[in-house]
Chain A
Amino acid sequence: MSWFIANLGLIWQLTLDHIALSVPPIVLGFALSLPIGWLANRRRLARGGILSVGGILYAIPSLPLFVLMPALIGTKILDPVNVVIALTIYALALMVRTSADALASVDRDVLQSSTAVGYSAWQRFWAVELPLAGGPLLAGLRVVSVSTVSLVSVGAVVGVNSLGYLFLDGFNRYFPEEILVGIIGSVIIALVFDGILVLIGRLLMPWTARTTPRWSRGRAVSALAHGA
């Protein structure tokens, strides 16, 4: 505990670094997965190809990828961009299938009727397909978020600082408190991110909370209260 208190400044700084390294891959991976997932649904052949490339990318171990990044994109060895880009690739690999499936899950009748009343393809994507795919997209994004937050730690091995530095340093010094602080810290970040995503989902998709008819909602609430 004394180590924790003495090093609050360092821990806070590493927490901020950890967040700064996690957010861009999550956002970029999600944003890029949408057009690619959409495209995958256009053509059957493309779909198979795109989805298997995604699966293969995710199978590459993270450490070698971090080490290889400078050779691939010509950055410096210690550049945090290496980690951000590598993690974006993982996020994208995880998210592409989800995005393709989520967009494909939207009710065809609703799409047909949107076209029939005069949505252009572009308007229909933003106003109908994307919001209606929102549930499964959010579920996928929550997995990507947790996965990214935990993978950021590996970057410490190639010298990109995050809470992962605390595991590494703690191991080298046989110092359990430091390791524990690193683990708890990244779990808290993952939980906070997850909470934020759920909250954003509630705000952007108010209909999902209200789709149960009123009479059964009351019952569901009382059932929950009894269960708790």
Chain B
Amino acid sequence: MIEFRSVTKQFPDGTVAVDDFSLIIPSHKTTVLVGSSGSGKTTILRMINRMIDPTHGSILIDDRDVAGLNPVALRRSIGYVMQNSGLLPHRTVAQNIATVPRLRGVRRASARSQALELMQTVGLDAELADRYPSQLSGGQQQRVGVARGLAVDPNILLMDEPFGAVDPLVRAELQHELLRLQGELGKTVVFVTHDVDEALLLGDQIVIFRRGGVVAQKGTPAEILASPADEFVASFVGADRGKRALHVEHTRGGDIVVDSDGNAAGVLADENAAS
């Protein structure tokens, strides 16, 4: 569990990126931070692994204040995936994935064989192991980024717009891959995006930010879709456009789902029958 207790971050130039922010991020779930550019999402994420230290308040991981932990050791125990993968351009794919295990003193040979295993886990052909990142497609690079994030089998995985720079088809593929992985691994994932569809798809818990790091609403995707806290949230998730405000109508032929214009949108799949 990660806990933010009234955290404020003011940068030296006076910008208040995060203002009195509190949040509990449950273990083994995916929490998505979503909001427009500059709303403080990256700042919040980076305070977890002490890339940034808060001006006020505290951040606790399993009830231990991160301020008391060695930053380098802390970072090595937490997976981090960022946009444009952040891979080392002068290291091969396998070396990139093995980076953190090597930093932690794992021997070269076993780090490599572990890297090859991870490539399989994230759906990368083992043939790519000795290529340099620039020789991969954007989607492949992001997979390498995810594999590197998982390399030390961390409990916590921080992801900062990991799929922001790939085209929509590849993004959808990577999102489903992440859902599958998360189903198997059950990490505590903190995921930043400004794509609300991505947030609704991936999040167990979603936190929607306004400018200045103010929380507009937090809850499960269902809660947010069903009852947006205000106009801002409603327009952000597209509920005002009727796109999401679906409700169930009981007809004689069974239950059908109807949107706000009264058009039938579909039926509810029966989970028991489906599985």
Listed in ascending order, the chain A residues whose CB lies under 8 Å from chain B are: 107, 109-110, 112-120, 123, 128, 131-132, 205, 207, 210-211, 213-214
B90 touches A116 (CB 8 A): no
Q: Digit string of B88-107 for contact with A (CB within 8 Å is 1, else 0)?
A: 11110000000110010000
A119 to B88, CA, bound (A): 12
Indicate the member of B46, B76, B90, B99 with the most A CB atoms within 10 Å. Answer: B90
B82:A211 contact, CB within 8 angstroms:
no
B11 CB → nearest A CB, Å: 15
Known: A110-B88, A131-B90. A117 touches B135 (CB 8 A): no
7 more A-B contacts (CB under 8 A) besides A116-B75, A118-B72, A211-B135? A115-B51, A116-B51, A116-B158, A117-B148, A120-B72, A128-B88, A210-B132
Partner of B86, one of A112, A118, A210, A213: A112
| Assembly CA distance A116 to B159 (angstroms) | 11
Residues of chain B within 8 A of A114, CB atoms compared: 86, 88
Which residues in A have their C-beta under 8 angstroms from that of B175?
A: none
Instruction: Say what secondary structure dominates the interface of chain B.
Output: mixed
How many interface contacts (CB-CB < 8 Å) are there between A and B?
63
Q: Could you write out 11 A-B pairs with CB less than 8 Å apart?
A: A109-B82, A113-B82, A116-B46, A116-B75, A116-B82, A117-B99, A118-B103, A207-B90, A207-B91, A210-B132, A213-B135
Determine the chain B residues whose CB is within 8 A of the CB of A210 once the complex forms.
132, 135
Kindly report which residue of chain A lies nearest to residue B75, judged by CB atoms.
A118
Take A116-B49, A117-B100 as given contacts and tell me if A110 and B82 are in contact as well, using a CB distance cutoff of 8 Å: no
Q: Are the C-beta atoms of A112 and B82 separated by less than 8 Å?
A: yes
- The CA of A213 and the CA of B99, in the complex, are separated in Å by 23
**Chain A positions within 8 Å of B99 at CB level:** 117
Q: Are A116 and B86 in contact (CB under 8 A)?
A: yes
> Is B134 within 8 A of A211, CB to CB?
yes
Cross-chain contact A116 with B80 (CB below 8 angstroms): yes
Q: Are B49 and A110 in contact (CB under 8 A)?
A: no
- B27: chain A residues at CB < 8 Å are none
Let me know if B49 and A205 touch, CB within 8 A: no
Are the CB atoms of A115 and B90 closer together than 8 Å?
no
When C-beta atoms are compared, the residue in chain A nearest to B103 turns out to be: A118
Task: Give the residues in chain A near B82, CB-CB below 8 Å.
Answer: 109, 112-113, 116
Among residues 66 to 96 in chain B, which have CB atoms less than 8 Å away from a CB atom of chain A?
A: 72-73, 75-76, 80, 82, 84-91
In the complex, the 8 A-B pairs of residues with the closest C-beta atoms, listed nearest first: A113-B86, A118-B76, A118-B75, A116-B80, A207-B90, A211-B134, A120-B72, A131-B90
Question: Are B86 and A132 closer than 8 Å at their CB atoms?
Answer: no
Task: Please name all residues of chain A whose beta carbon is closer than 8 Å to the beta carbon of B135 when the two chains form the complex.
Answer: 210-211, 213-214
Instruction: With a 10 A CB-CB cut-off, give which of A109, A113, A114, A128 has the most chain B CB atoms.
Output: A113
A205 contacts B90, C-beta separation under 8 Å? yes
What is the bound-complex CA distance between A43 and B88, given in angstroms? 26
Query: With A207-B132, A210-B132 in contact, is A109–B86 under 8 Å at CB?
Result: yes
Q: Point out the residues of chain A lying under 8 angstroms from B134, CB to CB.
A: 211, 213
